[in-house]
Amino acid sequence: MSRKTAATIDLSALAHNFVDVAKRNPSSRHLAVIKADAYGHGAVQVAQALHGKADGLAVAFVDEAQQLRDAGIDTFIVLLEGVFSKEELAWAAQHNTAVVFHTEEQFEWLMALPKPHPAIWLKVDTGMHRLGFLPNEIPSVIERFQSLFDDNTVLFSHMACADEMHSPHAANQLQLLQKMNADLTLPVSVANSAGIISWPDAQGAWNRIGIAMYGGDCGNPDFTPLSVMSLRAPVIGLRTIPSGDSVGYGANWTAQRPTRIATVAIGYADGYPRHAPNGTPAWLNDHRIELVGRVSMDMVTFDVTDVESISIGDQVELWGKHQSITEVAETIGTIDYELMTRLSVRVPRLYR
């Protein structure tokens, strides 16, 4: 017997979401972004589920790509954060892996590397201001390292506000990119999920689908993905406390009426955030229920007074098909990306 806490991953819903986004622009090719263990969903399983559907995969760094190659996945990969050494460039060249270049040093490493070379995805900083060459630096980079560029070179940028449908910042970034590429005419990759869904001008040779395929929020009501991850945990304790009694560490919640409390087997060690406030919603036996009292390491407590029939062992859905992960994230003061990626290794992933 084992604790029934688990995250169920619906791989057919994930593939459906991916195709739903990709078909909005059939003339682009689409990368499935599966960094951070596919946002907590299992990178190998997600890569396998998208076989024949995704034109490529994107991860943050070499170790994540290596894990895919070790599992026998041979789909084209892009390293979004680039490489940290010359050796990693050589690895990428041998493993059908393109590299985002954002420093001169990375180009120096490439100069010193005998062929074959990995494809260069040249990162330009159009306003995100994290990584990349500034637009006015690009001509000199291209001139200096001319011999390294070829037909596989892609001009790459990232949007800061793609999830705000009318963001002037997003419009500015796209304009800047178009302007600087007018003469270069390189194939472009700039759109993430929200970019694809809300910004037609962001469509490029390669688009990058992340959160949309995992059923997350893209800030556009026209896009309603299927839920992919359902996080469930069993009720392991039930009691009724009198009005005036409190629940949990710090006694930070006090019952205003006689209250039935369900103790549920999940806590911050599983990735359910400790700062989830009183009132954070969940779903049990066709009812919306609310968190009361502090999140412990292995347990949480919910007010279930209004749920007519409950037994020990009933499964609470912390987020999933009935309880939107986006609403939970908003209540907690974070985003669905963070809830997904921080689900800990202690929670088994079940695939269906």
Q: List, as own/partner pairs, every contact residues 285-289 make where C-beta atoms lie below 8 angstroms and the sequence separation is at least 24, other chains included.
A: 285/309, 285/310, 285/314, 288/323, 289/262, 289/316
Site mask, ligand PLP, residues 62-81, x = CB under 6 A?
A: ------------------x-
Is 192 near ligand PLP (CB under 6 A)?
Answer: yes
> How near is the Cβ of 184 to ligand PLP at its closest, in Å?
20
Provide the mask over 132-161, with x wherever binding to ligand PLP is found by CB under 6 A and - wherever it is not.
--------------------------x---
What is the C-alpha R_g of the chain?
A: 23
Taking alpha carbons only, the member of 65, 67, 94 closest to residue 82 is 65
Residue of closest CB approach to ligand PLP: 210
Q: β-strands 253-254, 246-247: how paired?
A: antiparallel
Instruction: Indicate which residue of 35, 39, 214, 337 is catalytic.
Output: 35
Binding part of the chain for ligand PLP, among 68-76, 190-198, 222-230, 273-281 by CB under 6 A, reads 190-198
Give the tokens for residue 205: 């040779």
Q: Which are the contacts of 325, defined by CB distance < 8 A and separation ≥ 6?
A: 215, 216, 227, 229, 319, 336, 339, 340
Integer Cα distance of 308 and 314 in angstroms: 13
Query: 10 Å Cβ neighbour count for 26?
Result: 8
Catalytic residue among 4, 23, 249, 351: 249
Kindly give the pairing relationship between strand 287-291 and strand 281-284.
antiparallel
* Nearer CB in complex with ligand PLP: 215/320: 215
Does residue 33 belong to the site contacting ligand PLP (CB under 6 A)? yes
Q: Between residues 158 and 232, which has the closer beta carbon with respect to ligand PLP?
A: 158
> Is 86 among the catalytic positions?
no
Q: Does 232 bind ligand PLP (CB under 6 A)?
A: no
Binding test (CB under 6 A) with ligand PLP, winner from 28, 97, 193, 230: 193
User: Would residue 123 show up in a list of annotated catalytic residues for this protein?
Assistant: no
42 binds ligand PLP (CB under 6 A): no
Q: Is 210 in the site for ligand PLP (CB under 6 A)?
A: yes
The DSSP code sequence of 70-117 is HTT--S-EEETT--SSHHHHHHHHHTTEEEEE-SHHHHHHHHTSPSP-
Is 340 an interacting residue with respect to ligand PLP (CB under 6 A)?
Answer: no
Which of residues 192 and 230 has its CB atom nearest to ligand PLP in the complex?
192
Residues in touch with ligand PLP (CB under 6 A): 33, 35, 80, 158, 192-194, 208-212
